[in-house]
Chain A
Amino acid sequence: MSDPLAALLGHPGLWRGAGTEMAAAVPTGFRRLDERLPGGGWPLDTVVELLLPSSGIGELELLLPLLRSLSDVGSGAPRWIAWLNPPYLPYAPALAGSGLDPGRMLVVRPRAGGGLPWAMEQALRSGACAAVLGWVNAIDDTALRRLKLAAAEGRSLGLLFRPAQCRDEPSPAALRLALTARDGSLDVEILKSRGGVPARVAGLLAR
């Protein structure tokens, strides 16, 4: 009786959400968040979307452990961490103070907003960046898919910061998080995760 079922489960065309072997992941540095994420952390070589009501609510602090571990490559120089169109300037003394080498940051601030999806794709595909942080508001589904392919090709992690209004748009990102601030702490809602289930983690970064 179990034979047809086993045969069906072994079918190569069938993809099972849970329990499949997950790609490599980097711990987020927050135990409660790691428990909820498939693979136990940030996925690698793909695109992650972070939906924010406004900038500066703690999204960078959430990413600091990730950026630190991406910069720690043992021997050799770490790859760049690219900041595309950030709302403010990354502040070198604070980066150095939080364990990141400011010399390995690449800031891209075009005068006009055009060409951002293109620039992000180039940065992801080049293989020169360990992570690409992009503040790109207007981006369509096709461009997102291209970013995901570029990230896989360049073995880079794309972190896309988008306004909270994009919550209901479909997205090919491997992981979608909605961040909200509440009383000086950060609530993270996992909207979509490849191989995981939606969840909510409250009260990170209490300050």
Chain B
Amino acid sequence: MSEARPAPTLPATGVSRQTLRLAGRVGTPGATSPARELWLAMQLPSIPAGGLEPLARQALRFTPRVSLEPPAALLAEVRGSLRLFGGAAALRQRVLAGLQAAGQPARVAIAPTPRAALWLVRAGQDHIVLHGDLLPGLAAQLPLSCLDWPAETVATLRRFGVRNVAELVRLPRAGLARRIGPDRLRELDEGFGRCPQARRHYTAPERFTAECELPVPAVTAGALAPGVSGLLAQLEVFLRVRASGLDGLRLDLLHRGLPATRIRLGLSRPSGNPQYLGELLRERLARAALPAPVMALRLRSGVPLPLQWCSLGLFDRGHSADPEAAARLLERLRARLGQTAVFAVHAVPDHRPERAWRVAEPAVATVPASHWPAAQPPRPLWMLAVPQRLAPPDFRLIAGPERIESGWWDGHDVRRDYYVALAGDGACLWVFRERPPGQDWFLHGVFG
């Protein structure tokens, strides 16, 4: 400090675990943090087994600005998230609950600068400090150990009679810089918000991969369910952070001494809903054959894609198509019945009846209606994939013939006389005879 200014004394500095707020008070000039930031620091009791990254991914649900502080602390800038989570105290409660659920009981403090927040958690002071003016007042409660400086530096300072950070910042600035180095002085300035501190933000990897070992080797698909839902819960966090969905993922069932069984899931529209993905995976797992007991599971995502939202009409009581529901139905049916069991039909302009349609992919979203002239003469609503020979012709002709001769150019030549016929059981049939008139009648369609 260049000026010998006494630390401002504030009424609430001694109050622990209490939100300190200065409503409408003008801050001491020069003591405010450069950009109005608020940092939440989490100090874990020990280095977590899986590293800090899983926790950092969890923290991304509260704010996009998360920073790692190895070995065992995390920082998150939460000023912009306060309103959403109902204030600093409520946000801290949620973070604590999340850490508890992850099996990581940690200390959490909030301060206007990242370094001050770290000091607070290292000193075991779970304060919420919303304003930079309050930091100098709290400095008397911060022992030198919270600075995380080398032991000899701390020992030197102790020899001066300095016991806490407040006493440290009261020392003449020039002399302090000479004794402990300009870098340490800068740390102090950063802590009190007198100069900004650049922090590298954590960015989560672009694809999700997670493994989970099963407590007992699983021999049935049902025994895999808890492991799968655990992985999907992690996947949900991964996706929510990016406001993204997936259009594909892969679940590997790892066996001992055998190659993994791979289950691929493809979605027609990106989805980030873990229940839905779990339902599809369950269907696939139920059909999968397990060659050997499953020792572990590995889940890999495809590239996360932005979720698409669409607005619904105000007046259409849910009677027009909802692409989301359609896509979900399609995938559910295909997951259980097979990919080719579900399809749509399209009309193709061709005179030959068997070539006038084709199997198509069902259109989930809106497609312009295909304009097809009303068939003259009428066509049956039902078609047989292959014309069927009618052994004893048990019908009476009521309309026809309609001659169809086409296709000599592509080798699928058709020369037939079609008739509408009424069968003995009341069915209305579309039958034909080959030209030149053969004796055999073939059934090609049913009017239904």
Contacts and interface: CB of A to CB of B under 8 A. Distances in A.
Contact of B383 (A88, A102, A104, A111): A88
Interface string B300-337: 00000000000001001011111001101110110011
Which of A56, A60, A123, A155 counts the most B-chain CB atoms under 10 A from its CB? A56
B425 interface: yes
Nearest to A126: B329
Interface residues of A, number: 57
B135 to A, nearest CB: 56
Contact of B326 (A60, A111, A128): A128
Contact of A90 (B345, B398, B426): B345
B366 interface: yes
B418 to A, nearest CB: 13
B149 interface: no
B68 to A, nearest CB: 44
A92 B321 CA distance: 20
B429 A56 contact: yes
Given A105-B344, A107-B342, A119-B336, A94 B379 contact: yes
A108 B344 CA distance: 9
A156 B318 CA distance: 10
A78 B422 CA distance: 34
A107 B369 contact: no
A115 B334 CA distance: 12
Interface residues of B, number: 61
A74 interface: yes
Given A56-B382, A182-B426, A76 B369 contact: no
A79 B362 contact: no
A106 B362 contact: yes
A123 to B, nearest CB: 6
A61 interface: yes
Contacts of B428: 56-58, 184, 207
B391 interface: no
B338 to A, nearest CB: 7
A34 interface: no
A56 B341 contact: no
Contact of B341 (A89, A110, A182): A110
Contacts of A123: 329, 333
Contacts, number: 202
Contact of B425 (A53, A75, A80, A92): A53
Given A55-B427, A106-B344, A115-B337, A97 B372 contact: yes
B385 interface: yes
Interface string B185-203: 0000000000000000000
A76 B344 contact: no
B426 A57 contact: yes
A92 B346 contact: yes
A118 interface: yes
A75 B321 CA distance: 10
B345 A77 contact: no
A95 B446 contact: no
B336 A93 contact: no
A86 interface: yes
A189 interface: no
Contacts of B26: none
A54 interface: yes
A84 to B, nearest CB: 9
Contacts of A49: none
A91 interface: yes
A60 B378 CA distance: 14
B366 A91 contact: no
Nearest to B356: A93
B393 to A, nearest CB: 16
A102 B346 CA distance: 6
A96 B370 contact: yes
A93 B316 contact: no
A93 B344 CA distance: 13
B84 interface: no
A123 B342 CA distance: 12
Contact of B378 (A86, A97, A108): A97
B380 interface: yes
B12 interface: no
A181 B382 contact: no
A119 B429 CA distance: 29
Interface in A134-176: 155
A92 B371 CA distance: 12
Contacts of B345: 89-92, 95, 102, 105, 107
B445 A91 contact: yes
A157 to B, nearest CB: 12
B146 to A, nearest CB: 57
A40 interface: no
B316 A73 contact: yes
A94 B382 CA distance: 8
A176 to B, nearest CB: 20
B363 interface: yes
9 contacts: A57-B425, A61-B448, A79-B322, A92-B348, A93-B347, A103-B346, A107-B344, A128-B321, A207-B398
Shortest Cβ-Cβ A-B pairs, 10 listed:
A181-B426, A76-B320, A60-B448, A96-B372, A88-B382, A56-B427, A97-B375, A56-B446, A126-B329, A94-B379
Interface of B: 313, 316, 318-322, 325-326, 328-330, 332-333, 336-338, 341-348, 353, 356-358, 360, 362-363, 365-367, 369-370, 372-375, 378-385, 398, 422-423, 425-429, 445-448
Given A103-B346, A127-B325, A181-B426, 5 more contacts: A54-B426, A79-B320, A88-B448, A103-B367, A184-B422
